[in-house]
Structures are given as structure tokens and as C-alpha cells.
């Protein structure tokens, strides 16, 4: 059983003006359908009774006793700052997945063709996965969008329409969003609107409700798509699940299990396990340093503190409402040392952006490619031969810059040879998987016929080779170590 949320936030506020529900909801882990039906009924009843003159949270004296005990503005703001960044990160991932499904794939037609029962099952599974990660069942009471009927249908709150809205918001698919997307629903927008004269604490609480609500919607959409593809739930690629995890909730990365996090909880000051800069869980507390000014956030290093300062200074020791927390600074797209610029007219696919993300990781600096072995795991590739390695890097540069087909074919040939070599030592990597991944990454046809008809590959120039060798040296230098054995011998 996930631990009960300790914060009052969303506990009562989400239930609007309705009286306390009389019976508790069924346990979601035991009776998923019953649990879903309970919340659908509650949220539908809540918003059905809302009209234009329904009191906003600000105008509802009955709600005051709840939001007044939510915590200090500084604490809630700190959560909002973190959760806003996390929401943007999730949106970036969802948009990439949505583009792959809707634009590169055939998901819209597949979804339309599914039986009503199957859609129902997938929607409930999606909401269940989302709530398990958030551990905030009550956030459902601010999400009238999350019903089987709404998401299954072709209306405004249908799954496909919601995904398309996100793609339209930021169609780059580079696993980042340029700015935060917030789902709009007339009654919720009214309920959570406020006037300038509303107390700062209420405004800050409302901001946290908006973030929590959007996060649950985004996670639900991700969950439905994953469930449709029989994939395990996504764990955040950086292992970031929430800013303030207690030891009990600590999770391993990429293990595919459900992880209750403490999204939206105020920080537990006695447990400082996550660096506010890089979001890594820091096991060795002796290396953590506190922000000296507010004593509220922790960092694993001076670099992380410096990097986070432009963002943290907005909330550090500041006890007033900050509307900009709903428009966090966008993260830069991933790139690795020597990542080429994109040529005019070439659009990188989400799969290619994922490859770039893999390669940008510190432990990938000496690797040249990542083969996705399952939807959530990859194995890194590094060639044994110097010639192959250099040729691959030059081809990779051309392909990533312009999508050059002959360069992609060279990559394919080298990777297939590598797959055969790996098979010899007992690692199964099917040639078809290699081909399919490159096809996804570059949106090209790599059938035998397409390859036969492709223009020839121009041999690497001296400049290209020197450039790649220079970048390789920089990558290795960035690790602060010597060349791994078997790597380039200069
Ligand atoms: Zn850090
Ligand atoms: Zn501070």
C-alpha cells in the first residue's frame, strides 16, 4: 500500500462545495473499476452542479479552513517550482510519444477501431498508473476530463484530441517543451481563477492545484498509450519522481514498478535526498549543501547550485505569490559534445531526439550508438575497430545533420556487423530491430530495394575525420579520465 499523503493539499479542496463523500472509495489496487467508478461519479456530480455563479475557491468560505492549513507560502512555492519543471518534462516526453503514435504511426485509426470495453480498460489502466505515481487520488476531483466516456469519445476531451492539442502546442518532439501547456476546462478554469486581492497563500495553493491537475492528466495520457502498447509504466528518464522522497518511497530507476511519490507534498526537511539542481538522489548526505539563504533546498555540488540559481532565486526566501512559477524556464534540448546542428529542412524525429538524449548522458561519452532493446531499455554500442568507429561517427554526423540516406545506410551496415559480432558472444540483437530503429530515427525506408537505389556514400574527408577525432577527445576529456582500453588509439 502506498503511504497516505501527509499534506492537506488537494485533500478537501478538490471536492468543491459538495459534502464529504459518505463512503470511502474502493481500494484502487484491489477493485480498479469500482475505484474509477467512484471518482467518475464524484467528479461528474461536482462539475454538474457548477454553473457560472458557482463560487470560486476564493469566494467559498467553506473552503477557507482547508487552504489556510496547507503550509507556508515558501514551502508550497518550492513544491510548485519543482513540480512545474517536472510537468514540463513530462509534457516533453508525452509530445514525443504522441508524435510517434499519431504522426509516424497509425494510432488514431487503431484507437477508433477498438471495442468500447477495450478502450474502457485502457483508460482505467492509464488513470490508475497516473494516480499510482502521483499518489494523489483526490486530484481526480479537479480533473473532469479523466472519465472513460470523455477519453474514449471523439469530443473535445477525447484522447486523440487532447494529444493533438499538445502536439500543436509544441511540435518539435525533442523531449522538451518550449513552455508549459495547461489543459483548459471552463468550469475548472472558473473554480481556480482568482482576483488580484486574493491572499497570496490562496493564489499559491491554487497554483499547486493547477500543476497537480495537469500532471495527473499528462500522466494519464502517457499511461493509456503505454498500456495500449503493453509497455510497463514509464519511470522518469532521470529517475526524478518527486522532489522530496522519503527513504520508504525511494525507488530504483527503470525497474518498471509503480512508485508512489510525494508529488506536491511540502518538503520533509529531515530527508534531503534529491539535489534541486540535477535531481539526482544523493546517497551520501555529507556532500549535500543547503541554500544558505532560505535553508530550504539541497544541492550535490556548487555547480548544481549555480546552475539552479537563476530559477531558485525567484523563490528563495521570498514569501509572496509568484505567478511566473507557471511559466518555468524551458530546458535546453539535449545534445552531446559535437552534436551537429540541423540542416535547413531536416526535421528530427522523436526517436532521433531520444538517441541524442542517450548520447548526452555522461556515461555515454565514449559510446557511439544506443540500440533500444525494449521500449524502456537500451544497450550502448562502441565498435572494436578504429576504422569502423571513425567511419560510423562521420556517417552519424551527416545523418544527424541532414538525414542523409547514404550515411544512414553506412550506419546500418556497421551496426549489422556489430549485431552479428554481439550474437557470436551470446548477446541477441536482431538485424530487424537495428533496421527498424534506424528507420524510426530517420523516417526512412531501409528495405533492400531502397538501399540498392540510394545514391553512393562519399568517403569521409580529412576534415571530417579530424573533426570527429577532436570531438572524441573532448568527450573523453569531459570524463576526466584516460582513454578506455580498445578505444581510439591516437
Ligand atoms: Zn546536483
Ligand atoms: Zn534558497
pLDDT at 52 over 80: no
Please answer whether residues 54 and 187 qualify as being in contact, where contact means their C-beta atoms are separated by less than 8 angstroms: yes
CA distance 13 to 205: 10
In a domain, 101, yes or no: yes
Going by pLDDT thresholds of 50, 70 and 90, the confidence category of residue 485 is low
Going by pLDDT thresholds of 50, 70 and 90, the confidence category of residue 258 is very low
Q: What's the pLDDT tens digit per position in 462-475? A: 999 999 999 998 98
Q: What is the pLDDT of residue 197?
A: 93
| Number of domains within the chain | 2
Give the least confident one: 67-81, 102-116, 204-218.
Answer: 67-81
Ligand 1 centroid to residue 294 C-alpha, Å: 18
Ligand 2 centroid to residue 306 C-alpha, Å: 11
Residue 203, helix vs strand vs coil:
helix
- Please report which helix (H) or strand (E) contains residue 290, including its range: strand 289-290
* Domain identity same for 356 and 230: no
In a domain, 263, yes or no: no
pLDDT at 247 over 90: no
Which residue, 210, 239, 268, sits at the end of a domain?
239
In a domain, 328, yes or no: no
Q: What's the pLDDT tens digit per position in 223-240? A: 999 999 998 876 543 333
Using left for φ > 0, alpha for ψ between -120 and 50, and beta otherwise, residue 299 falls in: beta
* Domain identity same for 84 and 216: yes
pLDDT at 264 over 50: no
DSSP assignment of 20-43, as one string? PPSSPPPPTTT-HHHHHHHHHHHH
Going by pLDDT thresholds of 50, 70 and 90, the confidence category of residue 201 is very high
Q: What is the pLDDT of residue 26?
A: 93
Which residue, 209, 239, 269, sits at the end of a domain?
239
Rounded to the nearest integer, the mean pLDDT of the chain is 82
* Domain identity same for 232 and 362: no
159-170 burial string, b = 16+ CB within 10 Å, else e? bbebbeebbeeb
* Domain identity same for 78 and 222: yes
In a domain, 49, yes or no: yes
* Domain identity same for 233 and 355: no
In a domain, 118, yes or no: yes
Give the residues across from 289 on adjacent strands.
299
Ligand in closest contact with the CA of 272 = 1
Ligand 2 centroid to residue 288 C-alpha, Å: 14
CA distance 162 to 18: 28
Q: What's the pLDDT tens digit per position in 310-343? A: 888 878 877 889 888 888 888 888 899 999 999 9
* Domain identity same for 27 and 164: yes
The candidate with the shortest Cα–Cα distance to 276, out of 256, 237, 303, 246, is 303
The Cα-based distances of 429 to 163, 335, 358 in angstroms read 33, 26, 18
Ligand 2 centroid to residue 317 C-alpha, Å: 6
Q: What's the pLDDT tens digit per position in 397-415? A: 999 999 999 999 999 999 9
In a domain, 457, yes or no: yes
Please answer whether residues 311 and 320 qualify as being in contact, where contact means their C-beta atoms are separated by less than 8 angstroms: no
In a domain, 252, yes or no: no
DSSP assignment of 310-328, as one string? HHHTTTTT--S--GGGGSP
Ligand in closest contact with the CA of 300 = 1
In a domain, 338, yes or no: no
Give the least confident one: 90-94, 307-311, 450-454.
Answer: 307-311
Ligand 2 centroid to residue 291 C-alpha, Å: 5
Which residue, 239, 267, 298, sits at the end of a domain?
239
* Domain identity same for 37 and 162: yes
* Domain identity same for 90 and 233: yes
Work out the average pLDDT over 280-291: 79
Going by pLDDT thresholds of 50, 70 and 90, the confidence category of residue 262 is very low
Work out the average pLDDT over 342-371: 91
CA R_g for the chain: 25
More confident residue, 379 or 488: 379
* Domain identity same for 94 and 217: yes
Ligand 1 centroid to residue 306 C-alpha, Å: 10
Ligand 2 centroid to residue 240 C-alpha, Å: 20
Ligand 1 centroid to residue 293 C-alpha, Å: 18
Domain that holds residue 470: 350-478
- Say what percent of the chain tops pLDDT 90: 50
Cell of 389: 568507429
Distance of alpha carbon 363 from its chain centroid, rounded? 20
Ligand 2 centroid to residue 265 C-alpha, Å: 18
pLDDT at 174 over 70: yes
pLDDT at 425 over 80: no
Ligand 2 centroid to residue 325 C-alpha, Å: 15
More confident residue, 102 or 481: 102
Q: What is the pLDDT of residue 208?
A: 93
Amino acid at each position: 500500500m502506498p503511504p497516505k499523503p501527509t499534506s492537506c493539499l488537494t485533500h478537501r479542496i478538490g471536492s468543491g462545495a459538495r459534502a464529504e463523500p459518505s463512503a470511502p472509495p474502493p481500494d484502487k489496487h484491489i477493485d480498479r473499476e469500482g475505484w474509477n467508478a467512484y471518482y467518475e461519479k464524484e467528479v461528474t456530480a461536482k462539475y454538474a452542479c457548477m454553473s457560472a455563479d458557482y463560487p470560486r475557491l476564493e469566494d467559498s468560505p467553506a473552503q477557507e479552513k482547508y487552504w489556510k492549513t496547507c503550509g507556508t507560502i515558501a514551502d508550497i512555492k518550492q513544491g510548485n517550482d519543482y513540480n512545474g519543471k517536472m510537468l514540463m518534462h513530462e509534457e516533453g516526453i508525452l509530445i514525443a510519444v504522441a508524435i510517434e503514435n499519431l504522426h509516424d504511426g497509425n494510432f488514431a485509426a487503431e484507437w477508433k477501431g477498438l471495442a468500447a470495453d477495450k478502450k474502457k480498460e485502457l483508460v482505467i489502466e492509464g488513470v490508475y498508473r497516473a494516480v499510482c505515481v502521483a499518489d494523489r487520488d483526490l486530484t481526480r476531483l479537479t480533473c473532469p476530463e479523466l472519465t472513460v466516456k470523455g477519453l474514449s469519445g471523439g469530443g473535445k476531451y477525447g484522447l486523440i484530441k487532447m494529444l493533438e492539442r499538445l502536439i500543436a502546442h509544441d511540435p518539435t518532439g525533442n523531449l522538451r517543451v518550449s513552455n508549459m501547456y495547461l489543459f483548459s476546462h471552463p468550469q475548472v478554469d472558473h473554480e481556480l481563477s482568482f482576483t488580484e486581492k486574493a491572499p497570496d497563500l490562496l493564489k499559491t495553493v491554487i497554483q499547486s492545484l493547477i500543476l497537480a491537475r495537469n500532471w495527473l492528466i499528462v500522466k494519464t495520457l502517457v499511461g493509456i498509450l503505454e498500456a495500449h502498447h503493453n509497455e510497463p509504466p514509464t519511470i522518469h528518464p532521470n529517475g526524478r519522481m518527486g522532489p522530496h522522497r522519503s527513504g520508504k518511497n525511494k525507488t530504483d530507476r527503470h525497474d518498471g514498478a509503480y512508485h508512489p511519490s510525494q508529488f506536491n507534498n511540502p518538503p520533509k526537511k529531515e530527508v534531503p535526498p534529491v539535489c534541486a539542481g540535477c535531481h539526482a538522489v544523493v546517497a551520501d548526505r555529507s556532500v549535500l549543501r543547503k541554500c544558505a539563504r532560505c535553508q530550504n533546498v539541497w544541492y550535490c555540488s556548487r555547480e548544481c547550485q549555480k546552475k539552479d540559481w537563476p530559477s531558485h532565486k525567484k523563490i528563495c526566501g521570498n514569501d509572496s505569490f509568484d505567478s511566473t512559477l507557471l511559466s518555468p524556464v524551458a530546458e535546453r534540448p539535449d545534445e552531446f559534445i559535437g552534436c551537429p546542428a540541423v540542416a535547413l529542412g531536416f526535421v528530427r524525429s522523436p526517436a532521433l531526439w531520444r538517441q541524442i538524449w542517450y548520447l548526452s548522458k555522461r556515461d555515454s561519452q565514449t559510446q557511439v550508438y544506443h540500440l533500444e532493446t525494449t521500449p524502456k531499455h537500451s544497450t550502448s554500442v562502441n565498435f572494436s575497430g578504429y576504422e569502423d568507429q571513425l567511419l560510423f561517427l562521420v556517417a552519424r554526423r551527416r545523418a544527424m545533420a541532414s538525414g542523409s540516406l547514404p550515411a544512414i545506410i553506412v550506419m546500418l551496415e556497421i551496426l549489422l556487423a556489430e549485431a552479428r559480432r554481439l550474437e557470436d558472444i551470446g548477446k541477441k540483437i536482431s538485424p530487424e530491430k537495428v533496421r527498424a530503429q534506424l528507420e524510426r530515427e530517420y523516417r526512412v525506408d531501409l528495405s533492400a530495394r531502397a538501399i540498392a537505389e540510394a545514391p553512393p556514400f562519399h568517403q569521409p574527408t580529412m576534415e571530417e575525420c579530424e573533426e570527429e577525432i577532436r570531438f572524441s577527445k573532448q568527450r573523453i576529456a569531459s570524463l576526466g579520465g584516460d582513454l578506455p582500453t580498445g578505444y581510439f588509439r591516437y
